[in-house]
Amino acid sequence: MVSYILKRFLSLIPTLFVVSLVVFLVVFLIPGGPATAILGMEATAEELAALNAELGFDRPFLEQYASWLGGVFQGDWGQSYFLDMSVLEAIGEYFGPTLSLAIYAELVSLILAIPMGIIAAYKRGSLVDTAAVSVSLVGIALPGFLLSMFLMLLFSVKLKWLPVAGYRELSEGFGQFIRYLTLPALSLGLVQAAYITRMTRSSMLDVLYMNYIRTVRAKGQKEGIVVLVYGLKNAAPTILTVIGQSFGSLITGTIVTESIFNIPGLGSLTMSAINRRDVFVIQGVVLFVTLLYVVVNLVVDLLYGVVDPRIQLGRND
Amino acid sequence: MKKFFALLLALAMVLSLAACGGSDAPAAEAPKADAPAAEAPKADAPAAAPAAYKDELNVAITANPPTLDVHFSNSNIVGGIGSHIYEPLFAMNQENVPTPVLAESYEVSEDGTVYTIKIRQGVKFHNGQELTADDVVPSMENWLVKSSKATPIAGTTFAKVDDYTITATLPEAYSGALDIMAGNVQFAAIYPKSALDAAGEAGITEFVGTGPYKLAEWKQDQFIHLTKFEEYQQPAGESSGFTGHKEAATPDIYFRVVTDETTRVAGVQTGEYDITEGISLEQYEALTTDPSLTLYTKTGGTLNLFFNTTKGIMAKEEMRDAIMACLNCDDIMMASYINPGLYSLNQGWMNPASATWGSQNSEHYNQNDPAKAKELLAAAGYAGEKILLVTTPDYPAMYNATLVVHAQLVAAGINAEVEQYDFATFMEHRANPDQFSLYITSNSYNILPVTLSVLNPGWAGLDAAEVPAGIAAIKAAATTEEAAAEWQALEEFLYDYGAASVLGHYSDVSATAAGVEGFNYFNFPIYWNVKVPA
């Protein structure tokens, strides 16, 4: 098992190298530098060129890349031009809100999707099933930003139950923390729930009509145990994969939601870093997110063995 | 199956609890409990009890400022926030007259080249140091180098006479020198010498000034928290523009970075924010009827079209004249600012309300004459060369105007093409005459014409000798009337030459929650003296 995990991490090195090279190249090739964001609209060409040169942006590509890569090997991921902190500090600061949001949204989606998926599969062809399938279809088709706007209009502007936007640290109180995160978490979680519901229903359908389920029923087991223990346990690897993908996408794909709800997370950081050409931050965030995605997938792979002992990772025979 | 439904019910309860975490509390942040100003009046309190005000002002701003070094950046957000932290020697009062702030008095030598400026004594920086000439001289020197708005007095030398007196020696007499030093964009803020000594490539990093508010915390991309500077020394006179009495009426100001327009508006409607800058023009009409809001409009600057005057077919004056003949400025401004009440048509590069620098329309402006354009195109020998309009959707007004101009050029038979980029790339393109034929930008008003971007050869590459000659004539004018006449001549040259054209004058819109007191939307929104009933 340990050697399997080590192998997975070692295989990550070339991936990270290629990703870093491509991202650095793309940022290098895009016109404009941080001077535009610093100096503002009325800066002249000379002023822009002078500041970009002072910041080292006029150096050849390989020189800039080598200098950055050398720093990475020494634990220095570079310094943000705007945030007055190192890239690692920035990631540490902005990751908290994203992780909180992702966990909350994933909880919302799981609490809704798993029961709904199981009930829909159990009552296949019924009104409940049709409703679950239809609602999840709408959820998948609905653009996230539209749902965000709708939720904001309803719960903030009309009902005034929840704040419009913003973020409060956990240290400012759990109640405030949850109140500010609820709308964005719902906006993300409902879309994810739609996807997970469909996949849960589908994988449960695969197992609920298997012979061993029929056998368990014939032995007189209660329906709850048949569905939850024998059915759900065997459908779990597929559902787990979907949850892993969902959590990965929640961590890496919250740019729009974070922008609308003004949450200072990795999505917002990425967006502003691109606009400001804060090159080291872009690099750092992309590498971090790549690493995170791989780790999430690795954890999911390891969990396969927990939910289904027949799966033994790292064994060739 | 009952367990499933129980689970679903539990979920609903959890979400309801989360949703109602504040029970019936308003969405806005409650004032701090220990703040006396925020206490609700007791039911049996006497009727004459003073009104209670919030001790926290929440302002939604459109972007995170790239820096808080006002010498360095001409961004309005930097200047707007910076004017609460820093103060200059002179600033503009509400009538745009230069008025002492950190200066106590000044004298000008007979030949008009030496300004002897007395500095107010007893003024403290936020770090506790006392303001002296040792801070003023390096600050003014730094501003002279870093601020593009200081260009008209380039070559000025600043020297310490004693701890509270400095001299500014101009290379030549210039009656507008004080206006330049009192300008509000990239203004001549006085920093402590220690902050300047510690400055890096991108300006100062210790944001310390003498203003009524000091920086308490800057949480990047979230908020900038300013708090009342208890040792603030009030300048003389009543509050007027950036001068006179500045009362930190609300002890704490949070400038909250809210990039999404809809969120900003919804935030003021629900009380989350007390004030928002950058109201969407699309929403302006609908919001005017919202009783929970008070809208403020302020003419803010000009929407301008700049030509490439040096490369290719655009180097021909007839070609630029042909494009000018196509323009229907009313259509362009309507597409950009949506409501006729939010723009006006005037060819002047300066504020039309200015008695000195305002202009009347001439035959060059807003011609809307495609037939004349076709004649001029023939005279220019135009053979269908591509005319490239570069723009950025990041600024909707500029983008919409470009699309309308494009349509007007195509209607006149010009092979026009629009290229759109994100803001940083747009800035790169518009700085290179090989990569544009024309572009449109919105530019804030300048106090004096000599600081206009259009006159700067680094802006759109305008290199006609008449421009520096015109600037020199304005600067050398003995009286304001003479200077105004020189400016009218230079402005006429810009249109004759086809260097650029003003398309119209726009208004900025801000909104406050109903009940906000003391808000002054001057050249920037001013938040000292602002109070919000609790």
The minimum CA-CA distance between B187 and chain A, rounded to whole Å, is 14
| Chain A residues within 8 A of B78 when measuring between CB atoms | 40
Residue A25 CA, distance from chain mean position: 25
The C-alpha angle with vertex B419 and arms to B413 and B425, in degrees rounded to 5, equals: 150
Instruction: Give A269-313 as a DSSP string.
Output: HHHHHHHHT-HHHHHHHHHHHHHHHHHHHHHHHHHHHHH-TT--T
Position B35 scores a pLDDT of 34
B199 close contact with A: CB closer than 8 A: no
Residues B92 and B217 in one domain: yes
pTM greater than 0.80:
no
| Chain A residues within 8 A of B79 when measuring between CB atoms | none
Is the ipTM beyond the 0.90 threshold?
A: no
Position B43 scores a pLDDT of 40
Q: What are phi and psi of B272, to 5 degrees?
A: -65, -40
Residues B210 and B329 in one domain: no
Q: How many domains does chain B have?
A: 2
Residue A172 burial (CB < 10 Å; 0-12/13-18/19+)? exposed
Is B44 a member of any domain? Answer: no
The minimum CA-CA distance between A19 and chain B, rounded to whole Å, is 23
How many Cα atoms occupy the beta-carbon half-sphere of A249 within 13 Å?
16
Is B26 a member of any domain? Answer: no
| Chain B residues within 8 A of A280 when measuring between CB atoms | none
- Tell me which of A226-230, A295-299, B199-203, B243-247 is least confident: B199-203
Instruction: Give B192-215 as a DSSP string.
Output: PHHHHHT-BTTB-SS---SSSEEE
Instruction: Flag if A41 and B458 touch (Cβ within 8 Å).
Output: no
Residues B304 and B288 in one domain: no
Nearest to A275 by CA among B64, B67, B278, B444: B64
The minimum CA-CA distance between A154 and chain B, rounded to whole Å, is 11
B145 close contact with A: CB closer than 8 A: no
| Chain A residues within 8 A of B259 when measuring between CB atoms | 259, 262
| Chain B residues within 8 A of A48 when measuring between CB atoms | 427-428, 431
**Smallest CA–CA distance from A168 into chain B, residue:** B222
| Chain B residues within 8 A of A224 when measuring between CB atoms | 1, 3
pLDDT of A305 above 60? yes
B4 close contact with A: CB closer than 8 A: yes
Is B48 a member of any domain? Answer: no
Residue A225 burial (CB < 10 Å; 0-12/13-18/19+)? exposed
CB-closest option in B260, B422, B459 to A275:
B422
Among B64, B67, B207, B221, most A C-beta atoms within 10 A, so best to mutate, is B221
CB-closest option in B67, B203, B459 to A44:
B459
Which 61-100 residues of chain B touch chain A by CB within 8 A? Answer: 64, 66-67, 72-75, 78
Instruction: Flag if B257 and A262 touch (Cβ within 8 Å).
Output: yes
Residues B456 and B521 in one domain: no
At B179, which helix (H) or strand (E)? helix B177-181
**Domain assignment of residue B406, given as a range:** 299-508
CATH of the domain at B434: 3.10.105.10
Residue B10 burial (CB < 10 Å; 0-12/13-18/19+)? exposed
B421 close contact with A: CB closer than 8 A: yes
| Chain B residues within 8 A of A176 when measuring between CB atoms | 21
Instruction: Flag if B272 and A82 touch (Cβ within 8 Å).
Output: no
CATH of the domain at B98: 3.40.190.10
Position A315 scores a pLDDT of 59
**Smallest CA–CA distance from B4 into chain A, residue:** A115
First-residue to last-residue Cα distance in chain A = 14
B258 close contact with A: CB closer than 8 A: yes
Residue B371 CA, distance from chain mean position: 39
B310 close contact with A: CB closer than 8 A: no
Is B19 a member of any domain? Answer: no
Instruction: Flag if A54 and B266 touch (Cβ within 8 Å).
Output: no
Instruction: Flag if B22 and A179 touch (Cβ within 8 Å).
Output: yes
Cα separation, B29 vs B35, in Å, equals: 14
User: Would you write out chain B's pLDDT as a tens digit for each of its 534 residues?
Assistant: 444 444 444 444 334 333 333 333 333 333 333 333 333 333 444 455 566 899 999 999 988 888 899 998 888 889 999 999 999 999 999 988 999 999 999 999 999 899 999 999 999 999 999 999 999 999 999 999 999 889 889 999 999 999 999 999 999 988 889 999 999 889 999 999 999 999 877 789 899 999 999 999 998 888 999 999 999 999 989 999 999 999 999 999 999 998 888 888 888 888 889 999 878 777 788 888 888 888 888 888 999 999 999 988 999 999 999 999 999 999 999 999 988 889 999 999 999 888 889 888 788 899 999 999 999 999 999 999 999 999 998 888 999 999 999 999 999 999 999 999 888 788 888 878 888 999 999 998 988 899 898 998 888 889 899 999 999 999 888 888 899 999 999 999 999 999 999 999 999 888 898 889 999 988 889 999 999 998
Answer for the pair B21, B15: CB distance below 8 angstroms, yes or no.
no
B12 close contact with A: CB closer than 8 A: no
Residues B372 and B411 in one domain: yes
Q: Residues A114, A120, A123, A129: what is their CA dihedral angle, to the nearest 10 degrees?
A: 160
Answer for the pair B337, B281: CB distance below 8 angstroms, yes or no.
yes
Instruction: Flag if A160 and B27 touch (Cβ within 8 Å).
Output: yes
B431 close contact with A: CB closer than 8 A: yes
Residues B476 and B459 in one domain: yes
Q: Sketch out chain A's domains with CATH numbers.
A: 31-76 (no CATH), 87-307 (1.10.3720.10)
Residues B504 and B520 in one domain: no
Task: Name the token pair of A168.
Answer: 């409060």
Is B340 a member of any domain? Answer: yes
Instruction: Flag if B66 and A46 touch (Cβ within 8 Å).
Output: no
Position B359 scores a pLDDT of 83
Residues B92 and B141 in one domain: yes
At B79, which helix (H) or strand (E)? helix B76-85
Q: How confident is the model at residue A274 (pLDDT cuts 50, 70, 90)?
A: confident
Nearest to B504 by CA among B344, B364, B360, B363: B344
| Chain A residues within 8 A of B459 when measuring between CB atoms | 42, 44
**Smallest CA–CA distance from A173 into chain B, residue:** B21
Q: How confident is the model at residue A82 (pLDDT cuts 50, 70, 90)?
A: confident
Nearest to B18 by CA among A79, A150, A246, A161: A161
Q: Are strands B56-61 and B252-257 parallel, antiparallel or unpaired?
A: parallel
Nearest to A108 by CA among B1, B20, B12: B12
**Smallest CA–CA distance from B462 into chain A, residue:** A44
Residues B377 and B459 in one domain: yes
Residues B202 and B343 in one domain: no
CB-closest option in B203, B219, B456 to A44:
B456
B434 close contact with A: CB closer than 8 A: no
Is B42 a member of any domain? Answer: no
Residues B340 and B462 in one domain: yes
Task: Name the token pair of B416.
Answer: 């026009």
Helix extents (H) in chain A: 2-10, 12-29, 34-39, 45-54, 61-73, 87-122, 127-141, 144-151, 174-208, 211-218, 223-225, 232-252, 255-260, 266-276, 279-307
Among B220, B223, B274, B425, most A C-beta atoms within 10 A, so best to mutate, is B220
Is B240 a member of any domain? Answer: yes
B256 close contact with A: CB closer than 8 A: yes
The minimum CA-CA distance between A275 and chain B, rounded to whole Å, is 7
Cα separation, A248 vs A230, in Å, equals: 28
Instruction: Flag if A119 and B15 touch (Cβ within 8 Å).
Output: no
Is B17 a member of any domain? Answer: no
CB-closest option in A42, A162, A272 to B64:
A272
Position A316 scores a pLDDT of 56
Residues B221 and B363 in one domain: no
| Chain A residues within 8 A of B394 when measuring between CB atoms | 275
